[in-house]
Copies of this chain bind each other. A is one copy, B any other.
Amino acid sequence: MSEGMRVALDAMGGDNAPGETVLGAIRAAREYGIGVYLVGREEAIRAELAKHDTNGLDLPIVHTDEVIEMDEHPADAVRRKRQASMTLALQLVRDGKALGAVSAGNSGAMMAAALFTLRRIPGIERPALGGIFPTSGLPSLVLDIGANTDCKPEYLQQFALMGSIYMERIFKIASPRVALLSNGEEETKGNKQVVEAHQLLKTSAETLGIRFIGNVEGRDIPVGKADVVVCDGFVGNVVLKLSEGLAESLLGLIREQMTSTLLRKLAAAILRPGLRSVFSKLDYAEYGGVPLLGVNGSAIVSHGRSNAKAIKNALRVARQTAETDVTGAISAGMQKLQSTITPKAAVPEK
């Protein structure tokens, strides 16, 4: 079974670790033939492994006692706990021993550790988290969803490049449609940062090799008008959490109506399979986690509540991100951009 390289999993990360993390790794190993480094407390991991049939699976343990807890201050914890399970997982990537790293632990710490261990891709000023947004068709990538609350227009330009490469390689979308999130479609619409980013993207799209389709509005996200929706981390965070909250509320209201009388309950039973297919679109576990783009290597940040299915899918995505060389493509795009940038003083003012 164990051919190719492994993916490194922070076996201690997340609310359901190590039970669900280890089970997720077992499933990834069995279903996708992925070898997984299980990084964390050996005894605890071994106890979980013993509960399942792991015959023939490539699941080596990398022991460490240190674990970063969910409520620790991200940067402090990363600095203090040099042997933390998530950091060791990332070091395996840095040292060329693992294809990618996955953690469902403290997400701020995972980002800090990734930045610290893997470093930024040259030219990328701020790595970004790409959130997977379900639409009626293929999902869209919204980035940044929270790593950077205050963004310069250049950051948004870099997010556009990273998002485009990710969607092309992971979701196999040829020439993804990249858009800026704004309060109107016209290029004059937006806050200062977005209006400037629009001009940057308009002039650099060809160099970057991306298909910039202009601005989209909030209503365009759920219908999938763009494959990549670029915004700062403050707006992206609001977008993601509002969507989750709204979907939950609406489905809750509907569920309430469906169970208010016996007759309605019967009717609801008939509709259940259909509705389940709607609900499953909203299941974050389908996508496993969100990529941290812009660091030198494949790093997937999974939801703190991740179950085995989410971990399994995150491990798959981590491998895919490495195998399709997302990092290399981002690096190449940034090199092209930088080779064409004229020093600011030489650009004529409008």
A residues at B contact (CB < 8 Å): 135-136, 146, 149-150, 181-184, 189-192, 194, 217-223, 231-235, 237-254, 257-258, 260, 263-264, 266-268, 270-271, 274-275, 277-278, 281
Contact = CB atoms under 8 A, between A and B. Distances in A.
7 contacts: A183-B234, A217-B238, A218-B239, A234-B235, A242-B243, A257-B274, A264-B270
Give the copy number.
2
B257 A278 contact: yes
Interface majority SS (helix, strand, loop, mixed), chain A: helix
Given A246-B246, A249-B136, A241 B219 contact: yes
A192 B266 CA distance: 52
Contacts of A244: 218-219
Nearest to A135: B249
Contact of A247 (B135, B237, B246, B270): B246
Contact of A183 (B189, B223, B233, B243): B233
A246 B260 CA distance: 25
Contacts of A135: 249
Given A257-B271, A264-B271, 14 more contacts: A135-B249, A150-B192, A182-B234, A190-B234, A221-B245, A231-B238, A238-B238, A239-B242, A242-B243, A247-B250, A250-B250, A250-B251, A250-B278, A264-B270
A250 B232 CA distance: 25
A124 to B, nearest CB: 20
Contacts of A251: 250
Contact of A238 (B218, B252, B258): B218
A249 B232 contact: no
Nearest to A145: B183
A218 B240 contact: yes
A237 B183 contact: yes
A235 B233 CA distance: 12
A271 B268 contact: yes
Nearest to A246: B222
A253 B238 contact: no
A184 B254 CA distance: 28
B234 A218 contact: no
A138 to B, nearest CB: 14
Contacts of A252: 136
A222 B242 contact: yes
A269 to B, nearest CB: 8
Contacts of A254: 254, 275, 278
Contacts of A181: 238
A259 to B, nearest CB: 9
A217 B149 CA distance: 14
Contacts of A278: 250, 253-254, 257
